[in-house]
Amino acid sequence: MIPDETADDIQIAAEAQQRLAVQALAPAYVPACPGAGKTHVITLRHLQSPTRLLRQGRALISFTRVARDQMAQRCRQAGRSDLLHAPHFVGTLDSYLWEFLVKPLRATQPVPRLLESWSNVKAPVQGMDREISLHRFPMVLDPAVEPVRQGVAWNNVDRDTKRLLEKSEYDRGEWEAAALKTRDSWCKLGYFTGHEARYLALWNLRRPGRAAKLLPQLLSRFAEVVVDEAQDCSGADLAILEMLHDAGLPLVLVGDPDQAIYAWRGAQPAALQRLATKLTSAPVPLTGNWRSSPVICRLASTLRAGHRPPDTAVLREDDIPVVVLPTRFAGTGSNHRHASTSNGVVKAFRDVAQQYDIEAVDCLVTAYKYATLPGITREKQNTNQITSLAWARTVAHTEGATSAELTRACAVAVRVLFGYWFPGEVGSAERLCAAHGISLQQANRTAFTFLHSLPPPHKEWATDVWQAMKAWPAPSGVTPQHTKGRLAGAPVVARQAKATGVRTNIVHQLKGDEADAIMLILPDDGNVQRWAQGDPSADELLRVWYVAITRARRLATLAVPEEEAEDMAQMLTQYEVPVRIV
């Protein structure tokens, strides 16, 4: 047990670090460990703003809507809703670039609109020998050249799309040209995604005449811009931020390079460090972990670059050892078995958690890939419509489905219904609703009811969906055209696992999440060697593991191949991490 005075000293020191970060003058760099209270610090910094009407405000920028909403909620709870309105700005990086570096220089007609993804509209790549949707071609920017080079990120194309392309008569170069041409045609209709927002922001800032129209207004409006989770910035993001810094806009970057796990979308931790050094020679670190126990802090330190000492556990004194579960892995997550009991590995995890009075609701199972996880079937982002609709129907009938999953399921169903009701019309659901005098809220309610009415997916399910669409009451004035909008093919539906009471999600979806107990599933051979000898600064998978275990408050559990369990325990013991094999 830590003496009270020592615990008090630890908390006082951690609070002092937070105050320094709150009060640091911009430009500044705040490297923050997991559980450091970044959102708390950023919000406190914002709450310092006077209540009187300001000429200049502060921008709080995040990478996700969840983080944005958390900061907004804290401002409201503090009675400072004024901090969410002009001249301030609280939003995502995509929306910031769009609102202040792109939209002001766009024509007013057609009305420019920022999409979360090209999957929000039906946009097949035109002029080819098979139909592949535009969103299945991830785009990449190279800001190091002028003009900025852009094209398809072929390394990030999913397996199903690659199979379709292999059967095509056209080569990759022709598909890339067709994808860019299709994308440009949608841009002419006023539709853009975050990729285009970055491209246009770079274009505008690198042309003196256009920059002269944007920067004075930006510098006049914002006294500083705070970027949360800065380690997730892509090369294009960092190039834009550096130009804003050079123009005189004070930046505050808050992040943790050890949590950089989005290399597939262009995150560059090394480039972030270079920009951070340019901003300031005196970073303001946050090394107090208000989330995790000392054991978990020590475990996490084994996965960090530079062999830095463990972060300081501020509040927790739990000494629960790391648990290693010898596991026999199967093809699907629901069939993984605990080697010692032959029970499902999730049950074994729950049994261990219960030994420490941790309930199932406070347990979370995570892995690098969806295929490794137990639980309900997940939607593939790049799949055919009948499979997407089958996923949406499953979500609508799943007790405990998240609000994000339900929102996405409704969006899928709306797109299917609109494809039948408004054949040949292009545009987002919002634009079609506006054009036909339909409430988007009513469209979503209709879509959810439609999903609930559908029978369970099966091989001939497309026929059931077609009959349901024809029989479903259509909005006034809608005239479907024969079989246009009919879905074809058989849905690919994974078997749904039994409910366990334990949450599951891949690591890339866990930013901002936490639980008393975390189980990280490590099904591949060679985990111990990679853990012990790898370089986290160069190996993103090690950083993925780091993010996973730092979500834990009290208990970290590692499910590893049974033949590697002893080696894993010995390796962690050498790092002075308490561990036991169950």
* Strand 139-142 to 149-152 pairing: antiparallel
The full DSSP string for 229-296 is SGGG-BHHHHHHHHHHHHTT--EEEEE-GGG---GGGTB-HHHHHHHHHHH-SS---B-EESSS-HHH
- The Cα–Cα gap between 182 and 134 comes to 8
561 labeled part of a ligand binding site: no
The full DSSP string for 122-142 is --BPTTSSS--BGGGS-EEEE
27 labeled part of a ligand binding site: no
pLDDT recorded at residue 264: 62
- Give the Cα-Cα-Cα angle 187, 161, 430 (nearest 5 degrees): 35
pLDDT recorded at residue 433: 84
Q: 473 near 447, Cβ under 8 Å?
A: no
Mention every residue, 6+ apart, whose C-beta is less than 8 A from residue 70: 39, 512
- Closest by CA position to 546, among listed 561, 533, 559, 531: 531
485 labeled part of a ligand binding site: no
CATH of domain 7-103+200-289: 3.40.50.300
Q: How many CB atoms lie within 10 A of CB 557?
A: 24
Q: 196 near 117, Cβ under 8 Å?
A: no
Using DSSP's 3-state secondary structure scheme, residue 484 falls into: coil
- The Cα–Cα gap between 86 and 55 comes to 9
Beta strands in 321-469 (DSSP E): 322-328, 337-338, 363-367
List the beta bridge partners of residue 428: none
Q: 135 near 442, Cβ under 8 Å?
A: no
pLDDT recorded at residue 497: 46
- The Cα–Cα gap between 419 and 303 comes to 48
Q: Is 427 exposed, middle or buried (0-12, 13-18, 19+ CB in 10 A)?
A: buried
Using DSSP's 3-state secondary structure scheme, residue 206 falls into: coil
* Strand 337-338 to 322-328 pairing: antiparallel
HSE-CB at 83 with a 13 A cutoff on CA atoms is 24
- Closest by CA position to 39, among listed 9, 78, 13: 78
Q: What is the dihedral of CA 84, 25, 27, 289, to 10 degrees?
A: -80
Mention every residue, 6+ apart, whose C-beta is less than 8 A from residue 444: 410, 414
- The Cα–Cα gap between 578 and 302 comes to 13
Structure tokens of 434?
């506006």
Using DSSP's 3-state secondary structure scheme, residue 357 falls into: coil
pLDDT recorded at residue 400: 61
- What string of pLDDT tens digits covers the 582 residues of the chain? 444 557 889 999 999 999 999 999 999 999 999 999 999 999 999 999 887 767 799 999 998 888 888 899 999 999 999 999 999 999 999 999 999 999 999 998 998 999 988 987 878 899 999 889 899 999 999 898 888 889 999 988 888 889 889 999 999 999 999 999 999 999 999 999 999 999 999 999 999 999 999 999 999 999 999 999 999 899 999 999 999 999 999 999 999 988 887 766 666 778 888 999 999 999 999 999 999 999 999 999 999 988 789 999 999 988 999 999 999 998 766 689 999 999 999 999 999 999 999 999 999 999 988 778 876 555 555 467 888 888 888 888 776 666 777 888 888 888 889 888 888 777 778 878 888 888 888 888 888 889 888 988 888 898 989 988 888 888 877 778 888 888 888 887 654 445 567 888 889 888 778 999 999 999 999 999 999 999 988 888 999 999 999 999 999 999 999 999 999 999 999 999 999 999
Q: How many CB atoms lie within 10 A of CB 180?
A: 17
- Phi/psi at 556 (nearest 5 deg)? -115, 130
Domains 7-103+200-289 and 294-377+499-581 share a fold: yes
Structure tokens of 484?
């246009």
> Which amino acid is it at 449?
T
pLDDT recorded at residue 64: 81
- The Cα–Cα gap between 45 and 24 comes to 9
Structural domain spans, the chain: 7-103+200-289, 124-188, 294-377+499-581, 385-471
39 labeled part of a ligand binding site: yes
Single pTM value for the model: 0.82
33 labeled part of a ligand binding site: yes
- The Cα–Cα gap between 506 and 508 comes to 6
- Closest by CA position to 74, among listed 35, 40, 36: 40
Distance spanning both ends of the chain, measured CA to CA? 25
- Phi/psi at 225 (nearest 5 deg)? -125, 120
16 labeled part of a ligand binding site: no
Q: 139 near 175, Cβ under 8 Å?
A: no
CATH of domain 294-377+499-581: 3.40.50.300
Q: Is 6 exposed, middle or buried (0-12, 13-18, 19+ CB in 10 A)?
A: exposed
Report the length, in residues, of the chain.
Answer: 582
